[in-house]
Structure 1
Amino acid sequence: MSTIDIIFVSYNSEKWISGLLKSLTNQNYPLKKMYLTFVDNNSKDNSRKIIESYENKHLFGGYQHFFLDKNLGFGKANNYGVNHTKQDYIFFLNIDTEVDCNCITELINAIDSSDDNVGLWESRQFPYEHPKVYNPVTMETSWSSGACCLVRRDYFIEIGMFDEKIFMYGEDVDLSWRFRAHGYKLNYVPKSVVHHYTYMSAGEVKPNQFYNSTYMNLMLRYKFGSIKDIIKGHVMFSGLLFINGPAKSHKSRILKKLLKSPFEGVKYRKWKRKADKSQFRPDFKLWDYEINKDGAFYVNEQPDGFPLVSILIRTCGRPNVLREALLSVRNQTYKNIEVIIVEDGPPISESLLHEEFQDLNIVYKSTNDKVGRCIVGNMALELARGKYFNFLDDDDLLYADHVEVLVSSILKHPECKAAYSISFEVPTEVVSREPYIYREIFHNVQHRQPFNRLVLMHHNYFPIQTVLFDRQIYEDLGGIDPDLEVLEDWDLWMRYAFKYDFLYVEKLTSLYRVPSNISHNTERQALFDQYLSIVREKNLKYKFQIDMASIFKDVEYLMEKPPTIIYKIKGMSFRTLLFKVKNKLFYYGKKILK
């Protein structure tokens, strides 16, 4: 078993220290393998006394503290701790945290299963998970939060440790990018949970965080970016003069930083001149450093129970595509899962399951002859044993907390028999089927729609993998209409929704792919348009029993909502809008020519 140093930086942190230490003693990992180091940045409260007088020091492999006579800042104080420790792995852990009992164990498991080119592993934060995107297949991320990350000591020292010019905020992005510039990868470990009490309430804006993080965005552009990035950074930072900030001295603080920024920026630029051979090019997202998922202030928590969930996968002779969907299922933080895979055609994917996924609870069946996606879906429903069902097409992916979030939400709302979350639409260009290589064009949220039956009658806003539903609905109303070639999910959701309530969960937990090729998109849209009228006509014949209160609520929402097209365009990036417009023009142009 690996030994690790855990380093904490304290500054007037008396309210957090006892809870943090108690959580560490509850670890399901040998405490003698854990070496604790406190570096105190000249606290004026009782932090030092609490650290020094801790009674259970003997439980750990080591326990030491360093009381500094001035505040060095976060990065420099952590470096001080590193220079006074010696274990091969270092866990940087914020003082205002408590760790879940399996936190360290899951980090070590991740280390043991990682390649040598991984230099950093990041834990997941509760109650507010950091919303930055990560790869749900490889679990690789472009940058990692310094609040709870574990590093290899030799790699950390090799890349130059924390940049001591950065006092606070932004040092974790800088560290992450230098890891990547040296060819190392960063992995996200969502099964390792840290409770971080950084915000007193959702959406809180802390003045120091606001001013330091925005300024560091500009400095990181000097350090890693192009001249164009730096100019954009100055325009953005100057723009802060024209908004109301979180402090009374807002304008003077911004102006002061703006005046000194070129001189400090030159110092940061020195790193780029020395390390330009790496060819590392970060992707600045305005004030962010990665695409963010919806749900930054969704309150994450473990479910009250763990009923069996059946993930239903329809596939059709493309094991390389299926592999990625299964890896995203393997990465789920929720463990009571069975995977039902029905292959439309001969058992091409069966060997993949035996060779690579023996650890998953898989039920597999092939049809031998092609029968179509709807019949295959119904076969999966018939085979499922779970309390809850969740479809997953073989080319779509679940983020690691997808099942956990939906189960947790639906258990708290027993009046609802289905729950759905937000997802990314990802236009994807397939470069090669063997090996499976693709290029994701962009990530776009197409639907942020609270449950509304009238909207659902007009169009489907439940991508199939976003919905977790109670098997009771299936047993009551049946499965997929086998006569439909497409839009079978929309038809299914309408049938279910007109009898049962669905719960809208405002967190992004999955992604679905669409073709990026214009001609493929046009053919796909033509088929959808053909079946659009078929599904509408079919469902208009049904008589539904809906109470007037539900109808009034749905109508009231529609009356207050801005026009749909304006509402959707407002949330799109320019690149996404251009892609949508180009596809529509091509589609209607082709129709006119026909």
Structure 2
Amino acid sequence: MASVNEIEQQQPLVSVITPTYNRPDYLKDALSSATRQTYQNIEIIVSDNCSLENPQAIVESFNDSRIRFSRNETNLGMLANTLKAFKMARGKYIACLLDDDMWEPDFLEKLVPPLEANPHVILAFCDHYIMDADGKIDTLGTETNSTFYKRTALQEGIYQPFCHLALVDSAVSTATAAVIRRDAIAWDTIPSEVGGSWDMYLNYLCCRSGAGAYYYPAKLTRYRSHENTDTNQSGSRNYQAKISKAKANIFCYEQFMADENLQELRSHFQQEWRQISTTLGIGLLRAKQPKQARPYFVRSLQKKISLRALIALLLSFTPLPIASRF
């Protein structure tokens, strides 16, 4: 029987990327799920973005030599910290484990072999659970999420090309439930403008490579939904987060629309661009910047009449206390 060291030598190294900031309890859960992987040959890169409470003690409590810890002297911003961790990776494959998410023990065991068996596949991905702030699985939320992102009926196998799957259906979650060939991505070329939409842009880079994607039809990770997630913050509760997220999305869709290889999807990208332009304008209204908001409503309406954009534009001419409540 092969020893653990012999098994690890036969397995390609996988780099687990965990950027973190001010989530010590969640971080401990995330790292526990990484260290419990049945796939053993991994390195876990924890990049702390100058948290108020240094999580080094939490990392050291695992007493696991596979964990590499780095702490920024100042806060670099979410994207810069994440890319820093990606660039520290040494593995043949790379997978992102955000500090508030978790993996099932066989996540890597299930997704690495399809990549090893198919050199023309750039990433392998799966479905995932939705859990609440306390770590309890939300059954209804999970199934709603799987259905909305078209994974419910998706068959196991290789999809090539997978542009529609990744950029229209958004079925591929590179930040939550995917393993990627590290050398297939030029990490230094990811522009700062992608901001919190870096996973969407990463999907784009993987698609434009011309390689395929492998889908494994099982829920092998857990996405934690809580009030401080980027998705929830960019909703109605935080207009600054809403503005930042919308600007990042607009940048991404403008890149997609300009790509000659994606012209068959251009109408979808244009529709998303219009909706997000309106969303950005609404965020600016809430920030009490009606003059800055109007051009986004106008350019959205120039492409297609939208009741939402039209009402927002009219509200931008009303007194600020009224407009900022939209």
Pick the TM interval, shorter chain: 0.5 to 0.7
Number of aligned residues: 248
Equivalent AA in structure 2 for residue 461 of structure 1: A
1:454 pairs, out of 157, 164, 167, with 164
For 2:214 and 2:249, the matched residues in 1 are separated by: 25
Are 1:444 and 2:142 counterparts? yes
For 1:456 and 1:531, the matched residues in 2 are separated by: 17
**TM-superposed deviation, 1:366:** 1.2
* Corresponding residue number in structure 2 for 1:143: none
Return closer, same or farther for 1:506/1:372 CA change in 2, 3 Å cut-off.
same
Are 1:533 and 2:243 counterparts? no
* Corresponding residue number in structure 1 for 2:236: 522
Q: Is the 8 A contact 1:339 1:360 kept in 2?
A: no
Q: SS of the residue aligned with 1:465?
A: coil
Q: Is the 8 A contact 2:194 2:249 kept in 1?
A: no
**TM-superposed deviation, 1:413:** 1.6
2:200 pairs, out of 481, 485, 490, with 490
Return closer, same or farther for 1:324/1:362 CA change in 2, 3 Å cut-off.
same
**TM-superposed deviation, 1:523:** 3.8
TM-score w.r.t. structure 2 length?
A: 0.65
The aligned runs of 1:499-578 (5 Å cut-off) are 499=209, 500-515=211-226, 520=233, 521-523=235-237, 526-527=242-243, 528-544=245-261
Return closer, same or farther for 1:529/1:514 CA change in 2, 3 Å cut-off.
farther
Are 1:371 and 2:81 counterparts? no
**TM-superposed deviation, 1:533:** 2.5
**TM-superposed deviation, 1:404:** 0.6
For 1:364 and 1:318, the matched residues in 2 are separated by: 15
Return closer, same or farther for 1:321/1:410 CA change in 2, 3 Å cut-off.
same
* Corresponding residue number in structure 1 for 2:54: 348
Return closer, same or farther for 1:439/1:457 CA change in 2, 3 Å cut-off.
closer
For 1:365 and 1:531, the matched residues in 2 are separated by: 27
For 2:9 and 2:127, the matched residues in 1 are separated by: 22
Q: SS of the residue aligned with 2:59?
A: helix
Q: Is the 8 A contact 1:457 1:536 kept in 2?
A: no
Q: Is the 8 A contact 2:21 2:48 kept in 1?
A: yes
In structure 1, stretches of 5+ residues that fail to align are 1-25, 29-100, 103-301, 430-436, 555-586
The aligned runs of 1:97-496 (5 Å cut-off) are 305-346=10-51, 348-354=54-60, 356-426=61-131, 428-429=132-133, 437=134, 441-442=138-139, 443-445=141-143, 446=145, 447-449=149-151, 451=159, 452-458=162-168, 460-463=170-173, 464-475=175-186, 478=188, 480-496=190-206
Asked which structure has the greater CA Rg, the reply is 1
Q: Is the 8 A contact 1:480 1:489 kept in 2?
A: no
Return closer, same or farther for 1:459/1:303 CA change in 2, 3 Å cut-off.
farther
**TM-superposed deviation, 1:544:** 3.6
Return closer, same or farther for 1:365/1:304 CA change in 2, 3 Å cut-off.
closer
1:536-581 Cα shifts (integer Å, max 9, x gaps): 01222234499xxxx8xx9xxxxxxxxxxxxxxxxxxxxxxxxxxx
For 1:505 and 1:472, the matched residues in 2 are separated by: 22
Return closer, same or farther for 1:353/1:516 CA change in 2, 3 Å cut-off.
closer
Return closer, same or farther for 1:382/1:529 CA change in 2, 3 Å cut-off.
closer
**TM-superposed deviation, 1:303:** 11
1:326-366 Cα shifts (integer Å, max 9, x gaps): 00011110000100111111571112112x11124011111
**TM-superposed deviation, 1:505:** 1.7
Q: Is the 8 A contact 1:388 1:470 kept in 2?
A: yes
1:231-287 Cα shifts (integer Å, max 9, x gaps): xxxxxxxxxxxxxxxxxxxxxxxxxxxxxxxxxxxxxxxxxxxxxxxxxxxxxxxxx
* Corresponding residue number in structure 2 for 1:185: none
TM-score w.r.t. structure 1 length?
A: 0.37
**TM-superposed deviation, 1:318:** 2.1
Q: Which moved more, 1:358-367 or 1:526-535?
A: 526-535
Bigger helix share: 2
For 2:260 and 2:80, the matched residues in 1 are separated by: 26
In structure 2, stretches of 5+ residues that fail to align are 266-307, 316-324
Stretches of 4+ moved more than 6 A in 1?
Answer: 516-519
Equivalent AA in structure 2 for residue 540 of structure 1: M
**TM-superposed deviation, 1:388:** 0.4
User: Percent sequence identity over matched residues?
Assistant: 19
Equivalent AA in structure 2 for residue 411 of structure 1: E
Return closer, same or farther for 1:457/1:369 CA change in 2, 3 Å cut-off.
same
Return closer, same or farther for 1:340/1:325 CA change in 2, 3 Å cut-off.
same
**TM-superposed deviation, 1:410:** 1.3
Return closer, same or farther for 1:526/1:440 CA change in 2, 3 Å cut-off.
farther
**TM-superposed deviation, 1:454:** 2.6
The aligned runs of 1:45-56 (5 Å cut-off) are none
1:270-316 Cα shifts (integer Å, max 9, x gaps): xxxxxxxxxxxxxxxxxxxxxxxxxxxxxxxx999510000000101
* Corresponding residue number in structure 1 for 2:305: none
For 1:438 and 1:306, the matched residues in 2 are separated by: 31
